[in-house]
Structure 1
């Protein structure tokens, strides 16, 4: 609601102006009135006013003098001049001061409303310019674009926001693409070198150099860190310019950050309503595939999941792998992993699921050799793996960490600690405590706790939780039991506590673990 100040020394004029039009319907309100310019200036000291409607001839201070004073204090305030007679000199001076209109009394309602509508358009344009200059505009734009791509915004709200953000909704062809930045290190979204909003902004600038007349390009980061690229075109230019734009962006990101970059382009849609479908197709392709060795621009087909099917039946020979682990033959273990992850060049970018499943099997096989396995290094990094080579490196790292500790620390425990380990193994589903166990072994709880910590390398309570999480992991991966059932079966009667402990030891939630390992 915008504020209006009426200034006139004739009370009837002031009263008439208050009722001449429906101010509320025009999103305005009469904030105050004044009888002359001096009184108006005094009231403006404590009042924010968008529009001043003032008479020309008033005692003590004329309307033009008032306008000059207000302009100094509030340059954005607008003015309408009222006069009982037409005087060219006043009109000319009012124009030089930038007034919106010069209205003769009695005021013509239609002319007043037309003037107000014109001012409202000016205000809207000024607001848009101000928003665009502010960082909040970028945040708003990214938020709206993400919601558009994810189909989480109401159609009416989107059209209103699209008009504000000047998004193209009248083109005849729309297509989505994604640029995925892959690094060896775990860089967050707020890392200055890999700050996605800045990268997306620069990509949009670079992409525009290849945009034909009548076409537009929009770039923004999605919530997973990919740079989403939207192409809007007339449909007559073909798609070569889109691939050229992606190549230019990809090359710039790679040279500026030193990271590897892959591009995936979806199918074209005939309306802006099809943008979410094109985005979904691109993201589905990335979700279903591991990226190969060559950085390239991939153009998907109709279902986005056609590549890599030849690899789906690949499974490691686990008996052979178990033997290599027990024998501690590191070089042969590496050769086994290299051979398994060797993909023929014609397969390009293999399907993600079978390789993720096999990688989990290999890592769990190694972890099962540990007395107190820590799954944080197994499942936590998986969500950040996008390449076949990255997955292979993770498997090797986890396996070698296990081999380095397993064969170096393999020794006999004292009878009391061995009894404690067996007790946990046989009764982990029940309520366990060091106090209860010490009574069974006829030992002082403090002595048993210190002995266990010294030999097992962890506290008794942590060992119990780790063992329960280990058993829960196998149930989550290899059974269809509900999470609450799994929690109860391994000794966690409070499901929320189970979730917290699982996240602590495994690095991911039970739900995230199951989404990583998809049973065939």
Structure 2
């Protein structure tokens, strides 16, 4: 383990740093902390320290003096500045002292983690303690990333771009993102090899893509240049590979816009599993405003009742593919449709087991909302479907009760009673009612009414049908009785429920 000493006069900053990242996972351990430079020098003399993280402004002895004296006494010590001061003079002085990075408060977790990982690599490979070309690149990348994410002022950007010789001060900008199936440093190196333009920057993104930022005085041909230089990567890198493009924007302040557009475009890889160019402008011209045409739940309910996992998997895959080709479909729309399906599986299971389970499928819901590919999205929904069937198989032991549940799911609109079902399944209706209540925790009539009311709630939310029509649709031929049952189960009338939702 490499040893870290933290120096800051604000106790809550020190406390936060202890827990903000997984130090042990990076091969690091915090061996102590100090409130000023003088106390830090005492600790450096008393124990081995590999990395010093220090603030600039502190009482007794400030960070710059600490860095100077620590550098003289411990030449191999790695130093990272974490400061609330964003003045350029501090950066220049710290750079001359040979620091690893200059991070601003409040700390960016990913930037801190990346800096620590890079510093550990240097310690492990015994890189000489000097400001190398690689060090300058890391600092350049940090400045550009802060610019693209709106975390740096125009004045500071201009100063640092000049000092670091960043070729980014131009009139127009275009951001592109390269995303392969297995993002790695080789993607970044390949992109750098493809780009031959004096005002273009290539840097790794924290989310796995490689950022290519074009800068030019005139907007003409910027997109054509990006396509000509970067499209070869679609076949060179490990596929599927995506090239996402923002739009050409004017002014340094708008660079964040083209970067965010490229980030938006790369999300469309969910709808284009084969890779290719994802042009923000073209994608949003095709985008529709309608909601996803959700599949009929009755099909799923029947397959669940039949415990047919294979056919259920096929149905899910077919429906997601159908949604994928729906005109105007967006990544968020497809994810939302998958989330709705999972919620329906959850509701179905809770209804059949008569239990409220808030944590049920929470992890799967999060996975569906963050899925990056159609295959991943499909597999999450299929896994939920399989778990639903398995849970029902464990929770309902009696075959005849399973038959009753399946019959309700398929024919809840019809007139159903224990007498008719008992005759059909050759079971005495009294015994059937007792068995149903024992295994389901409620009577047959209570379960049937609750199931019908749940279907009515969905129709009230998702259709414009009249209340009388909905009552008949879910099996109530007397509207007054439907109102009574609805208020009993929901607490409000059907009309009030529709207005509330």
Scaled to the shorter chain, the TM-score interval is 0.3 to 0.5
Structure label with greater radius of gyration: 1
Higher relative contact order (CA closer than 8 Å, sequence separation 6+):
1
TM-score normalised according to structure 2 size? 0.47
